[in-house]
Structure formats: structure tokens, C-alpha cells
Chain A
């Protein structure tokens, strides 16, 4: 009974809310909900909205670089940590601690480190290289990359731990077979070990994807979407239109668009997961 009660709450909160949001996205609600059905008007507005389109583009750029970068860096760390290094647990502790730090503090810290005046650029200039320039944070074309750096900093340890757990689970006989066949190490990892860990890598990608789509805190702390709208993201777009710009219909449409995107990206994963288990 209690259990049904809990599932009921979750169902109402989650799926009820989604239906409600979906419905509002089809209305002309602004400050207050307005239940007059206007079809897909809000979606048309949304996808002709310059700021939304920039947000989406930013999300794609950030997402691709962040996912690829975090996976590559985290995997490299895992592979090296698996090579019987000294002080493995010390290194692991260092690599993983950013995950315990909130994205707000992460964003602020990197904002200070990369600050053109007081941060790295000022520092290097102060050391004599007057022409040294590292002002990505305030460069509209490059600010998005600073988010990528901070994001990788935050999540690489997570990927390392997951991949490392996968590597530790590899059958020892498989390593022996690799040695017997005289397969060089890099080929062993790329062609035997990692392909065999596909489910693990897939869960990593899924985790990182959900970070990207939900990504809000990091942007708020680091760039607030700026300079200009150079680092706007869909999650921020939706929250801004819900609460600051009070345009419920448009915000709901943006949220539903995000939801649909997540589901589309997740569908292959869920499909294969469920097929694997049944």
C-alpha cells in the first residue's frame, strides 16, 4: 500500500506534470495558465526565436565537446590508473573530488581562474608576456569552450571511476589471451577491451547526455549565458521564460522540446538495455 502510494506520488509529479506542461505548450498562457488551445503556435514561435536557436546550437557544440572530451580524458585516466601505478588511491581521490563540488562552485572557480583581468591571462602577462591572450571567457566565439573545460573538470573523474570498474571486471583470461596473441596494448584496448565494454561506455554517454540537456547551474555560475547570448542553453531559456519573462506557453514548449530530445537520444539506450535483459 505504502509503495503504491509512493509510486502514485512519483507518477503524478513526474508524468502528470509532463502532461500538464505539454498541454500548456499548446496554449497562449503567459503569466497565468490560459487553457485556450492554439495548436502548435508556441512551437512555431519557439523555433523562430533567435535566442532559442542559439541556445540549441550552443547545446550541441557544448554537448559534443563535453561528452567526447570527458569520455576521452576519463578513459585515459582509467587506463593509466589500471597500470598498477603507485599511490593509485591518492590519484583517484584527486581526480574524483570535483564531483563532490557543486556545479555552482565549479563554475565560479573556473570563472575566477579564467578571468582575463585577474586570472591566468593577467598572471602570464604579469610574468612578462605582455601579449599573452587567454580571454575565452569574455570572447563571444570562445566562451562556450570555457564551459567545456569546467564541465570536463567536473565529470572526468566520474567517467574514470566507471570505466575503471569496467576494466577491473575484464576476465583475466582475456588479458592472457591478448598476451599470447602478441597484441600490442593500444590495439588490445581499442579493438578488444573497449568494444567488449560497450554497455559501460553507453551508460557513461547517457549520464553525460543528461548533464548536457539539464545543464543550468554551470552556465549560471560561470557566464550567465553571456557574453551576450553566446552561452545560452535551452535549460536556462526555459527557466528564464517561466520565471523572469513569464511566458508560460513558450517556456513549456521549450521544456517539451528538451524532453522530446532527451527521449529521442535515450531511446536507443533503453531499447538495447531492455532487449539485453529479456
Chain B
């Protein structure tokens, strides 16, 4: 178990800022997911941590040692790649042992470690095959095995599941989580898939345009997004967003309508000005039109999702999603009222796009 400190990492490429002063403190044994859309700098950040990419300024500190100047192989890290990057002409056994062989590890130790990993990942039967003879899922396991066999206290993952089909991805997700609980090593995992982030991470770092927008446990990322970007990126369907303004006296004004905002835990309840209200589809109730504190809305259509349903309503000039029971969705009337649970809502400043 090792801690990792990422301090003020900055990197630009061809005049474009790829990483903009990234800071992150990772505690020993944590499972960290770096989440973001493609091009947000998450893979570059991982490569910088690994030492595969140089950065312009900043430090990577592992267990209080500054490793910024060290070669990747000297940093005590292991890494699993998106395309697996298995050594093509070597058997699985050789793939697992080659790095140790090069490092001059004694033979018996190598054999012992390979056996341990093969058993752990249940790939004993594959040891004498070549990568070309393996399925995608099997290659994935071998790639993980090659990372684990080095017994590094930190393991990096670069979108390792994105080449697997949906079913296998779900299974491997669970296994990785269990593996983390067994090994208790520090894991840093890059993905654009929010389900992976939500299910596996102890903490999620959401990245956007080279910056960390929010670094928090998955549930608070979902419930209390720190910025408009996070609100829009995390969650499916995306959070409903309404532009309006706060009057500083407990009302949020949208056009002619106003919504009581006093239930929202403002840091400063007198905050006023242009703002964006964000509310999840499950934090909206459908009520009789004209009920107190409700806003009239018109049903556009419903989507049945199996376990539950989504109703799409035209409301305050926006189309908003509301999570419904299947029966309620089937018998939904055209004209309804919507009531927002303001205690669970989010407010963002329209200018800084940060949470209020």
C-alpha cells in the first residue's frame, strides 16, 4: 500500500493545455477512478503518473519520495492498458515472467509468483497459450495478471474494460473490485464510463479540459455535483437544468414563475443573481396541477425502462425528465404539476458554473 501525491502537474501540447495544475492526494489502498469525456486529459494524467509522459512542471510523489525524474520501471508501479499490450510472440507464462526475468529476479521466485497470479485470476489453463489464441476477456485477465505479478503497491488502469462486450465488462468490474479488496493495493483507474466510476471507486476525480472538477466519493459526485459540468456529465439521464435567478430572499425566478428555494442548504442564503438550478429526475414529484409549490407541466412522452419509467415533460420552456413507476407512467395525464425536492437540488452560479 502506497500513497500518491499529484502536485501542480501542468502539461501543454502544441499550445494546448492538456493538464492545468492538477492536484490530487491519494491515500494508501484507495481505489481512485479518474472520470471524464475523451480529450479531458485523464489518460495523459495517468501516463504522467506512470512516467510515460513528461510534464512541464509539478511533482509526482509516491510514499513521500519524489519520483518525477524516474523511469517508469523504477517507480514501483504496474499498469494495465486499454489494448492489453500483451507481448505477441510470447506465451502467457512468458508474458507474466518476462519483466521479472529482465529485472534478474531468481527463477524460483518467478515461478512462485506466476503460479500465485495464475491461481488468483484463474488463468492456469491458459499459461502455455499465446495471446493470439485467447479471447478478449482472457487477454484482459492476462494483462491484469502481468500487472499484479510485479507485486507493485500501486496499480494503474487505462480504460481496461472498454474493449470488452457489455456482459463481460460487468463481470470484470465486480472481479476487479473484489481483487482490490483482496490485495488492498492502491489503484488508479481511468475511464469514461460513469457506471465503472460509480460502482468501483472509493473516490472519483471528474476531469474536464485538463482540470479536476471534483474529487469526491461517487455518491456525493452524484448528489452534490461541484460544477455544472459534473452535473451534466454524471448520471443518466442527465440532471435537469433550469436557468433563472436567485432573489436572495428564498425564491428562484424562472421567467414569470418562481420556486421556493429556502429548503436548499446555501452556504450564504442571501446569495442572489443569475443561477442554474439542477435537479435529478428522481427528486421531482408529479402532483395535481395547481397544487401548492408546483409548476404546471405538459407530458411529452414516456419511456418504459423495465423496472421503472421516465416521463418527459415540457416545463418552464425546457424538457425535463422525471422518474416514474411503470403504472404511473402508463396512466399519466397530459396536464400535471411538478414539485421539486429542493433539499436535494443543486444550485450553480451562472458565471462561475460552480456549486453555490
Interface residues of A (CB under 8 A from B): 171, 173-174, 176-177, 179-184, 187, 191-192, 195-196, 198
Contacts and interface: CB of A to CB of B under 8 A. Distances in A.
Interface of B: 47, 50-52, 71-74, 77-79, 81-90, 98-99, 102-103, 146, 158
A117 B223 CA distance: 90
A180 B77 contact: yes
A191 to B, nearest CB: 7
B79 A180 contact: yes
A180 B89 contact: no
Contacts of A177: 79, 81, 85-87, 146
Contacts of A179: 51-52, 71-73
Residue of A171, A173, A174, A184 with most partner-chain B CB within 10 A: A173
A183 B88 contact: no
Nearest to A174: B85
Given A179-B71, A180-B77, A187 B88 contact: no
Contacts of B90: 191-192, 195
A189 to B, nearest CB: 12
Contact of B84 (A173, A181, A183): A173
What DSSP secondary structure best describes chain A's contact surface?
Answer: helix
Closest 4 CB pairs of A and B: A182-B73, A195-B89, A196-B88, A181-B99
Contact of A196 (B78, B87, B99, B102): B87
Residue of A176, A181, A192 with most partner-chain B CB within 10 A: A181
Contacts of A192: 87-90
A208 to B, nearest CB: 22
A176 B85 contact: yes
A181 B81 contact: no
B52 A181 contact: no
Nearest to B74: A182
Given A176-B52, A196-B87, A196-B88, A183 B98 contact: yes
A196 B130 CA distance: 11
Contacts of B103: 182
A165 to B, nearest CB: 17
Contacts of A174: 83, 85, 87-88
A198 B90 CA distance: 12
30 contacts: A171-B83, A171-B85, A173-B84, A173-B85, A173-B158, A174-B83, A174-B87, A176-B50, A177-B79, A177-B146, A179-B52, A180-B50, A180-B52, A180-B72, A180-B73, A181-B73, A181-B99, A181-B102, A181-B146, A182-B74, A182-B103, A183-B98, A191-B87, A191-B89, A191-B98, A192-B88, A192-B89, A192-B90, A195-B88, A196-B87
B99 A183 contact: yes
Contacts of B52: 176, 179-180
Contacts of A191: 87, 89-90, 98
Contacts of B87: 174, 177, 191-192, 196
Contacts, number: 70
Contacts of B99: 180-183
A173 B82 contact: yes
A196 B89 contact: yes
A176 B78 contact: no
Contact of A176 (B47, B71, B88, B98): B47
Contacts of B51: 179
Nearest to A187: B102
Given A171-B83, A176-B47, A182 B89 contact: no
B190 to A, nearest CB: 13
Given A176-B50, A182-B72, A182-B74, 20 more contacts: A173-B81, A173-B83, A176-B52, A177-B86, A179-B71, A180-B73, A180-B77, A180-B78, A180-B99, A181-B99, A181-B146, A182-B71, A182-B73, A182-B99, A191-B87, A191-B89, A192-B87, A195-B88, A195-B90, A196-B88
A183 B85 CA distance: 14
A183 B87 CA distance: 12
A173 B98 CA distance: 17
Contacts of B78: 180
Residue of A174, A177, A184, A195 with most partner-chain B CB within 10 A: A177
Contacts of A182: 71-74, 99, 102-103
A181 B73 CA distance: 6
A150 to B, nearest CB: 34
Nearest to B53: A176
Residue of A171, A184, A195 with most partner-chain B CB within 10 A: A171
A179 B81 CA distance: 12
Contacts of B146: 177, 181
Residue of A180, A182, A184, A198 with most partner-chain B CB within 10 A: A180
B55 to A, nearest CB: 16
Nearest to A175: B85
Contacts of B81: 173, 176-177
A176 B79 contact: yes
Contacts of A198: 89
A198 B130 CA distance: 14
Nearest to B102: A183
Contacts of B72: 176, 179-180, 182
B89 to A, nearest CB: 3
Nearest to B81: A173
A183 B78 CA distance: 14
